[in-house]
């Protein structure tokens, strides 16, 4: 292959040089006229060049296989393949008067994008769990860790994109006007989206793994998106779509969080009651359980807030509004539950009951306004 490439490249350069020499001396006859008058014929030569160009395109569509990232000699073949494509296009246009439909840059990138598709399909097949029956979604198969399919998928995509950015893109940059590393990132992200964007529309899919596992997957996808697209031109103004995929999952998590918060408040209240920790003097105006309740709620707020920190990409304000609106309902439920316990169980002689309940409600309302 190496010898064939070099020989073809040499022959094409010779032909281009001959055409340039003819033009340089002011000859009126173009190279195509010489082909017309030859025994071989211009049309036959044009078809031969088309076949060569098609063959080179097919090679680029398999660039990971034919030009491995860890083989320097093969990578040099990639450069020579691109050079040969350029020579063929130049000769078609200048010497034979054939107008091509695309530029060299577009031809190279479009060919290599085909390889991205086959790479993604190969990665998918590598990540499908051994226990997958072929029905349903491979990402929902229970394995050693929740969502093992997606975690492996993102890891292998990152490795492939990293090769494109650091190895392949610099090699073909002299032939391409666009950054192939950015192209790879965008293509891989779009293909990844197709595997997960509608996954949680089905309510039963949300309950296969624990709610915390769903949230951890959202965090992983957030980091994955940042790795792929944070530095891609144009993406800095694009609102990521992944938050919308997980709105049902966050709601499911909030339901469990609310249940846990109510149990936490009950336990904190019982601890105050059993150990006589109710507020009795000015230096301790509120019981320990009040502080513990808002500490627990603050942890939930911090988690939701961390989901929407910019981290270099635009925030999804619509999804953020949905999440915090749902969380404000949780706050009202938990605070109202505590106020009911105070009203029912705390004797009037211990502190100012009305003042305590009013303060708790005010704090809850202020929290909701902050959200």
Tens digit of each residue's pLDDT (9 = 90 or more) over 166-191: 999 999 999 998 999 999 999 999 99
Burial readout 128-155 (b: 16 or more C-beta within 10 A, e: otherwise): ebeebeeeebbbbbeeeebbbbbbbbbe
Tell me if residue 284 falls in helix, strand or coil.
Answer: strand
pLDDT of residue 92: 76
pLDDT of residue 51: 86
Pick the closest to residue 361 from 339, 337, 341 (CA basis): 339
Tell me the per-residue pLDDT of 100-156, one tens digit each, with 9 for 90 and over. Answer: 666 899 999 999 999 999 999 999 999 998 878 778 899 998 887 899 999 999 999
149 contacts: CB under 8 Å, gap ≥ 6: 127, 128, 129, 138, 139, 141, 143
Q: Compute the distance between CA of residue 176 and CA of residue 171 in angstroms, rounded to an integer.
A: 10
pLDDT of residue 349: 40
pLDDT of residue 285: 62
pLDDT of residue 113: 96
pLDDT of residue 52: 85
48 neighbors 35 (Cβ within 8 angstroms): no
CATH of 249-370, one of 1.25.10.10, 3.40.50.150, 3.40.50.880, 1.10.357.50: 1.10.357.50
pLDDT of residue 369: 52
Q: What parts of the chain have a pLDDT lower than 70?
A: 1-42, 94-102, 277-286, 310-312, 346-371
Enter the pTM of the model.
0.83
Average model confidence (pLDDT) for the chain? 83
330 neighbors 293 (Cβ within 8 angstroms): no
Pinpoint the alpha helices (H) of the chain.
Answer: 2-24, 31-37, 42-60, 63-66, 72-94, 104-127, 148-163, 169-172, 180-196, 203-206, 211-229, 242-245, 247-274, 288-307, 317-345, 353-370
């Amino acid at each position: 292959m190496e010898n064939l490439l070099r020989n073809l490249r040499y022959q094409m350069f010779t032909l281009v040089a001959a055409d340039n020499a003819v033009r340089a001396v002011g000859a009126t006859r173009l190279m195509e006229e010489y082909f017309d008058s030859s025994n071989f014929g211009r049309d036959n030569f044009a078809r031969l060049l088309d076949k060569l160009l098609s063959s080179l395109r097919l090679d680029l569509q398999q660039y990971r296989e034919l030009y491995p990232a860890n083989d320097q000699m093969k990578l040099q073949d990639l450069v020579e393949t691109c050079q040969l494509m350029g020579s063929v296009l130049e000769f078609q246009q200048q010497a034979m008067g054939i107008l091509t439909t695309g530029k060299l840059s577009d031809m190279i990138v479009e060919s290599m994008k085909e390889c991205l598709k086959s790479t993604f399909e190969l990665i998918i097949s590598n990540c499908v769990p051994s226990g997958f029956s072929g029905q349903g979604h491979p990402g929902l198969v229970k394995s050693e860790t929740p969502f093992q399919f997606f975690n492996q998928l993102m890891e292998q995509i990152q490795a492939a994109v990293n090769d494109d950015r650091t190895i392949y893109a610099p090699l073909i940059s002299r032939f391409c006007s666009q950054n192939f590393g950015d192209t790879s990132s965008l293509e891989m992200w779009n293909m990844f989206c197709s595997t997960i964007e509608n996954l949680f529309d089905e309510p039963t899919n949300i309950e296969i793994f624990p709610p915390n596992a769903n949230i951890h997957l959202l965090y992983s996808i957030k980091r994955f998106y940042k790795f792929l697209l944070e530095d891609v031109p144009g993406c800095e103004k694009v609102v990521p779509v992944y938050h919308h995929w997980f709105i049902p999952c966050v709601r499911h998590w909030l339901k469990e969080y609310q249940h846990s918060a109510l149990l936490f408040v009950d336990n904190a209240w019982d601890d105050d009651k059993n150990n006589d920790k109710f507020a009795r003097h000015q230096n301790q105006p509120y019981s320990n359980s009040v502080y513990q309740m808002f500490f627990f709620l603050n942890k939930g707020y911090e988690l939701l807030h961390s989901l929407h920190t910019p981290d270099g990409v635009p925030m999804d304000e619509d999804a953020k509004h949905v999440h915090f609106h749902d969380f404000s309902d949780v706050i009202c439920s938990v605070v109202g539950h505590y106020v009911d316990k105070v009203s029912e169980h705390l004797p009037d002689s211990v502190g100012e009951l009305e003042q305590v309940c009013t303060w708790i409600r005010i704090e809850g309302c202020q929290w909701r306004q902050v959200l």
